[in-house]
A and B are shown apart, each in its own frame.
Chain A
């Protein structure tokens, strides 16, 4: 089945609550395409003390089938001391938000989405960065034929990946365009 590789960095969550109170701890994020079952999802590590504003800064790589329409992102509270895993917020990210349109496909994009709980009530925001990886030899799809982006202007194009300023998260700049 044709698919593309997508790097999703789960950066942080904002204002996550349970019964009106900030969720103290133990949150992780699962990511999968809408065509996959929950078993096929990739998870971040658990953030222990986010106090409603967890930070993961973790890069997840998924294979996204070409005909997938959404990436499902769920923030879950981990099971501990008799609790079951609970989905506290969910968002369906349209694939079109990061593959179609007027941008170079491998352009790093910062995207944020509203999360909703199981009842459909608004519950916080998730911040992601997304980059579609181009397989070698694959032509860009659905975008104007571009002049190649000069990699030299990105510092650390060859490795290292030293990030200048804040915010601080673990985005690899090793990949050339």
Chain B
């Protein structure tokens, strides 16, 4: 399947260097950010367990060869089993044409000391046509299955080498060996905000190609105490060049250890069949690289001699053109230094919800106190967001109803005061919502445009006074949009503002349309004038999924929000107002695994 020569592009991309395009703002550190936010929330509610964050590095050997003309293009998907249900926790990158891959992308998991955490690893051969799409969007059913392995997380942690090799077997715990093995290594995540931005360049590399010059790329691995090394990043391929300059690499302390930890830097000639030829290698710590930068001197590559024993020093040299240490702030750093999330809510009052006086209606208010779907969504989301919103004054609107003046409104205040949309606290929203149900009659159509524009206006206006506010609009709806195009226009216009939009779907409707707005599939929203959304600001969650237990609402909500918040702040170089909040230093330090 894979490995035809057309898919080289995926293989030539950089991995783990933390590069980010202006538009779609995918950061490497997303794992850290989201877990921080979820943990912080749970901890504040006394729900914490004793846990520590660990990173899994994966490698495999002797994988099954599914391709005829070449070797497999493997990727691993990691699941955790909770209450008998598999939950995906991460994917590696796809490695081209390789049966003994060493993946760079790590998978992060919270290690709970008190629970058994079964992990399932599935290895797939990824079809050529998926080679250039974000791995998150790859449909696994369309891929060749190469085998499955399982273990319990504590099995890995308790090994002295912190690593475990497993045989790849049939799907779903089958006992037949499919051939090949998977090695999982676990390491504790070091909570650190330090990153190093570095530009590497080489000169006088050996020429490995016959008809043109070498196509070099670098792979950087960290030497670990227990032996061996873990690859932490690779650069993009610079074609046909013996004096290449690579793009800026962004490496976190989490990746390279500390400044004295030795790193192996290998330079390869890219080969589209996956067997990249080693041009040379050298071992330097981050501190050594900094020294190279200051002294503007080069370090010679060496190559192990074919006669064994000694290493031949090459003419090719590595230079460091740029070296800056920086601090990268987390979501929690901003919030704890006085940045605020400002919550806004908009409720769907269209007729498709059903007559609010009938028990079948999504808007039915039960005298016994059982909450309807809208009330549940307001309560559950509000509870999380108000935790981050200190003044607890929330603008609350309704849309799609005929108001008292007889006109249909697509953005009216839920409160009885027509000039003041703000209500106080989640209870205030609940009261205003129940009140509005008595005062308006459900109508239609379902239009989001006005509500989004209203929220965008408030977010934009805040920029005149303050830059430490970020807005979250919760839209609760039962279904299909009439103004998809206008909504997209409004979202594109709002995409550069300090605003995220969470759409919660209630009821049994088909929410396919919402997935279009939530640009998770990598397609950026585009307006009819040709403006493209600067970043993804929409997150869609279906209450049905939440109640089925497939996802937790807090998790779903905080999955993208911190990253959306950070992409906004970082793009503008906005920093937390106090730089060293004391209580944030080393949040996991007291639960280091050596204590067990």
Interface of chain B residues 77 through 121 with chain A (CB within 8 A): none
**Interchain CB contact (< 8 A) of A167 among B19, B460, B464:** B19
A11 to B571, CA, bound (A): 12
Decide if A72 is an interface residue (CB 8 Å cutoff). Answer: no
Decide if A127 is an interface residue (CB 8 Å cutoff). Answer: yes
> Which of A28-36, A58-66, A97-105 lies on the face that meets chain B?
A97-105
* A83-98 to B contact mask, C-beta < 8 Å, 1/0: 0000000011010010
Determine if A101 and B460 form an interchain contact, defined as CB atoms under 8 angstroms apart.
yes
Determine if B464 and A110 form an interchain contact, defined as CB atoms under 8 angstroms apart.
no
* B41-52 to A contact mask, C-beta < 8 Å, 1/0: 000000000000
Q: Could you say which residues of chain B place their CB within 8 Å of the CB of A43?
A: none
Shortest distance from the beta carbon of B527 to any chain A beta carbon, whole Å: 9
Given A127-B22, A154-B574, residue A112 in contact with residue B534 (CB < 8 A): yes
Determine if A125 and B524 form an interchain contact, defined as CB atoms under 8 angstroms apart.
yes
Q: Could you say which residues of chain B place their CB within 8 Å of the CB of A24?
A: 239
Determine if A166 and B465 form an interchain contact, defined as CB atoms under 8 angstroms apart.
no
Determine if B21 and A155 form an interchain contact, defined as CB atoms under 8 angstroms apart.
no
Interface of chain A residues 154 through 177 with chain B (CB within 8 A): 154-156, 161-169, 171, 173
A173 to B467, CA, bound (A): 15
Decide if B328 is an interface residue (CB 8 Å cutoff). Answer: yes
Determine if B573 and A91 form an interchain contact, defined as CB atoms under 8 angstroms apart.
no
A112 to B527, CA, bound (A): 11
Q: Could you say which residues of chain B place their CB within 8 Å of the CB of A153?
A: 467-468, 574-575, 577
Shortest distance from the beta carbon of A101 to any chain B beta carbon, whole Å: 7
Determine if A167 and B571 form an interchain contact, defined as CB atoms under 8 angstroms apart.
yes
Determine if B326 and A162 form an interchain contact, defined as CB atoms under 8 angstroms apart.
yes
Number of A-B contacts defined by CB within 8 Å: 128
Decide if B570 is an interface residue (CB 8 Å cutoff). Answer: yes
Dominant SS among interface residues on chain A? loop
Q: Give the residue among B195, B326, B572 with the most A Cβ atoms within 10 A.
A: B572
Determine if A114 and B532 form an interchain contact, defined as CB atoms under 8 angstroms apart.
yes
Decide if A51 is an interface residue (CB 8 Å cutoff). Answer: yes
Given A111-B496, A166-B250, residue A149 in contact with residue B463 (CB < 8 A): yes
Select from chain B the residue with minimum beta-carbon distance to A130. B496
**Interchain CB contact (< 8 A) of B461 among A94, A144, A169:** A144
A153 to B339, CA, bound (A): 11
Given A97-B531, A113-B531, A149-B464, residue A164 in contact with residue B22 (CB < 8 A): no
Decide if A44 is an interface residue (CB 8 Å cutoff). Answer: no
Decide if B257 is an interface residue (CB 8 Å cutoff). Answer: no
Q: Could you say which residues of chain B place their CB within 8 Å of the CB of A166?
A: 18-20, 27-28, 250, 570
Q: Could you say which residues of chain B place their CB within 8 Å of the CB of A155?
A: 573-575
A39 to B25, CA, bound (A): 35
Q: Could you say which residues of chain B place their CB within 8 Å of the CB of A92?
A: 530
Determine if B328 and A103 form an interchain contact, defined as CB atoms under 8 angstroms apart.
no
* B551-590 to A contact mask, C-beta < 8 Å, 1/0: 0000000000000001000111111010000000000000
Q: Give the residue among B23, B238, B328, B535 with the most A Cβ atoms within 10 A.
A: B23
Shortest distance from the beta carbon of A112 to any chain B beta carbon, whole Å: 4
- How many residues belonging to A are interface residues under a CB distance threshold of 8 Å? 49
Determine if B197 and A168 form an interchain contact, defined as CB atoms under 8 angstroms apart.
yes
* A10-30 to B contact mask, C-beta < 8 Å, 1/0: 011010000000101000000
Q: Could you say which residues of chain A place their CB within 8 Å of the CB of B19?
A: 166-167
**Interchain CB contact (< 8 A) of A165 among B27, B247, B467, B534:** B27
Decide if B529 is an interface residue (CB 8 Å cutoff). Answer: yes
Decide if B526 is an interface residue (CB 8 Å cutoff). Answer: yes
* B492-527 to A contact mask, C-beta < 8 Å, 1/0: 000010000000000000000000000000001010
Determine if A102 and B457 form an interchain contact, defined as CB atoms under 8 angstroms apart.
yes
Q: Could you say which residues of chain B place their CB within 8 Å of the CB of A49?
A: 238-239, 241
Determine if B573 and A110 form an interchain contact, defined as CB atoms under 8 angstroms apart.
no
Decide if B243 is an interface residue (CB 8 Å cutoff). Answer: no
A111 to B9, CA, bound (A): 27
Determine if A113 and B532 form an interchain contact, defined as CB atoms under 8 angstroms apart.
yes
Decide if A147 is an interface residue (CB 8 Å cutoff). Answer: yes
Decide if A5 is an interface residue (CB 8 Å cutoff). Answer: no
Given A153-B577, A165-B27, A165-B326, residue A147 in contact with residue B571 (CB < 8 A): no
Determine if B533 and A103 form an interchain contact, defined as CB atoms under 8 angstroms apart.
no
Decide if A78 is an interface residue (CB 8 Å cutoff). Answer: no
Determine if B532 and A149 form an interchain contact, defined as CB atoms under 8 angstroms apart.
no
Q: List 19 additional A-B contacts (Cβ < 8 Å) besides A97-B531, A166-B570.
A: A12-B21, A49-B241, A94-B531, A102-B460, A103-B460, A110-B22, A110-B535, A112-B524, A113-B532, A125-B532, A144-B461, A149-B465, A154-B467, A154-B574, A156-B573, A164-B573, A166-B250, A167-B21, A167-B571
| B residues adjacent to A (C-beta < 8 A) | 9, 12, 18-23, 25, 27-28, 195, 197, 236, 238-239, 241, 247-248, 250, 324, 326-329, 456-457, 460-461, 463-468, 496, 524, 526, 529-535, 566, 570-575, 577
The 8 A-B residue pairs with the shortest CB-CB distance, nearest first, are A146-B464, A165-B570, A127-B22, A102-B460, A112-B532, A114-B530, A167-B20, A166-B20
